[in-house]
Amino acid sequence: MSTINIDGMSIYYISKNYRQDKYPLIFIHGAGNTSYTWYNQISITGPNYYPLALDLPGHGRSNGDGYSEIEKYSEFMYSFINTLGFEHVVLSGHSMGGAIVQDFALRYPSKLKKAILIGTGAKLRVAKEVLENTKKGYSYSHYAYSPKTDKELINLAEKEFSLTDPMVRYNDFIACDNFNVMDKIKMINTDTLIIVGRDDQLTPVKYAEFLNREIKNSELKIIDDAGHNVMWEKPEEVNLTIKSFLEEENNGK
């Protein structure tokens, strides 16, 4: 566990099995969440990479107020990567984190070795009712899991919900609501892995299929009996899929 100063903010991150001759696999959480999102992925390792997960500004243990624009989060990630001295990285993003990865891939492609998009879409609309209730601290976690997912697992996955201020979460949802790269997504040339739970209600399978059609160097994995938080519901399958993708020599369609 470490912190680093980015633009006057103390940013919390955790990495494992660091080696200078490997590149980082950086996990970016979704709206209102924390690095704990990746509890089951932070130990993924391979011959050429090591995992790192962070709390975005204003989330969890990081300072700041968060942002209401995906572009601002993407710019922050660029600063984070450069401040840590990384030349090339793999970015893996869930939901809003996936939007950040898409924007990053469009703006800073030379920094990316590969990209991983989990439970996300090229457009992320948020209902007005959800926006208003988010200010009041409401949780919509019941939409984020498959009906088949055990309630004890859901409670464990949601245990850091209260660490992020409702207004930060609200601004995250504003950022998601304004995000739309449907007309630009074809411009992404980075090798990309797309993962989605078959029971995802928030970013349905059709969102992932659109990404797969539009990103020419992409592959799609649909995971059964999992919803929006597929990395919690089916961690072993998600981890094996990520490892296989990162260790492939050639990953074009």
Question: Which residues fall within 8 angstroms of residue 161, CB to CB, at 6 or more apart?
Answer: 32, 139, 141
- On the 0-12 / 13-18 / 19+ scale of CB atoms within 10 A, 161 is middle
- Structure-block tokens of residue 171: 């601004």
What architecture is domain 2-246? Answer: 3-Layer(aba) Sandwich (3.40)
Domain edges within the chain: 2-246
How far apart (Å, rounded) are the C-alpha atoms in residues 246 and 69? 29
User: pTM of the predicted model, to two decimals?
Assistant: 0.96
Residue matched to tokens 């962070």: 54
Distant-in-sequence, close-in-space partners of 95: CB < 8 Å, separation ≥ 6 = 30, 31, 118, 119, 120, 124, 176, 202, 203, 228
- Alpha-carbon span 179 to 145, nearest angstrom: 23
Q: What is the pLDDT along the chain (253 residues), one digit of tens a residue?
A: 799 999 999 999 999 888 888 999 999 999 999 999 999 999 998 999 999 999 999 999 999 999 999 999 999 999 999 999 999 999 999 999 999 999 999 999 999 999 999 999 999 999 888 888 998 888 888 889 999 999 999 999 999 999 999 999 999 999 999 999 999 999 999 999 999 999 999 999 999 999 999 999 999 999 999 999 999 999 999 999 999 999 985 444 3
Q: How far apart are CA 223 and CA 204, in angstroms?
A: 12
